[in-house]
Amino acid sequence: MSTFQPVDSPLLTEQAMYEQVIPAGDGWLHDLLPGQVLRIVDMEGNQAVDTLFYSTEDPTDHYSAVRTMTRQGNLYLTTGSTLLAESGRELMRITADTCGRHDTIGGACSAQSNTVRYAHDKLPMHNCRDTFMLMLSQRDEFTKRDLAPNVNFFMNVPVTPEGELTFADGLSAPGRYVELLALAPVTVLISNCPQLNNPCNAYNPTPAKVLIWNAEGVSAHV
């Protein structure tokens, strides 16, 4: 079994062209150009940042968890992982990672899945899939069909060789981050998870931060 090696980024925060805090429970929808670098920071630790990626050139082409996993032969994402779309198009590559565990199969919480996992009376609670849908509803090109299994940055969902799936916490910490290089024009959708029903985040959703650096030698505004 391999041991995680943290990979720091050489990029300086003062040179980022964009910086934004995403409060707990809020969403973020943003287009990246090829060569731009997105850093997602777990500001207070053990927060799940539910993230989806789409080809900006073809928004019907969504991030594919299973194509990404089978291509690399591994469930988890870390430095070197290439995130693929359902067409096989390469969307993003992880270029730095100081956390070491990012989940690909846990998906996003929803009002309806909360009724199944916890209790029927959880239906009114705020959830990631509502945030995803609110963000996607801003753009005519998206419909509900475009929701797909997402990445949960900073979340640890171990699978045992016996096929048991569990939720664990404690791997991330304040200030840990993951950095991704856009390999194509990519639309990024984030729900900063408001889940209050399980102990992964100590029942206390916290903010995340996103920073963007331009491709070297490019001064494009986004």
Q: Which residues bind another protein (CB under 8 A)?
A: 1-2, 60-62, 64-67, 69-70, 73-76, 86-88, 105-108, 110-117, 119-120, 129, 143-149, 158-161, 163-166
**From the CB of 196, what's the least distance to another protein, in Å?**
16
Nearest to 181 by CA among 150, 207, 156, 216: 216
Residue 212, classed as helix, strand or coil, is: strand
- List Cα–Cα distances, 68 to 91, 132, 170, in angstroms: 10, 21, 25
**From the CB of 6, what's the least distance to another protein, in Å?**
16
Q: Six-digit token pair at 53?
A: 């990626």
d(CA 190, CA 40) in angstroms, rounded, equals 10
Q: Six-digit token pair at 65?
A: 């968890």
Q: Six-digit token pair at 173?
A: 């910490």
d(CA 33, CA 215) in angstroms, rounded, equals 8
d(CA 79, CA 94) in angstroms, rounded, equals 5
